[in-house]
Amino acid sequence: MKWEDVRQAFPEQWVLIEAVRAHTDEKSERILDEIVPLKKFTNSPEAMKAYQEIHREDPKRELYVLHTRRKEPNIIEKKWVGARQ
């Protein structure tokens, strides 16, 4: 699905989505080419709890919690610099 499809399917909802295909553009914005909605929620704390549970089980999955009020996802990728001890 595309983001617009998710917005139409789940109006005024928080959604937990997984990016199946995505890339980062030259402005460090994450472009979600193909997404799958996993679950819908009426509030963000419930959505974040579900995100944390799935992320704990499989941290390599690209998951996001977004509200369908957004016209575009507008996800900016941040690069972390530093070292762990």
pLDDT above 90: percentage of residues in the chain: 91
Cα→Cα distances 32→22, 28, 42, 58, Å? 5, 13, 23, 19
Over its C-alpha atoms, the chain yields an Rg (Å, rounded) of 14
Question: Tens digit of pLDDT for each residue in 53-81?
Answer: 999 999 999 999 999 999 999 999 987 77
Average model confidence (pLDDT) for the chain? Answer: 95
Question: What is the value of pTM for the model shown?
Answer: 0.89
User: In the prediction, which pLDDT does 27 show?
Assistant: 93
| Domain residue spans of the chain | 3-74
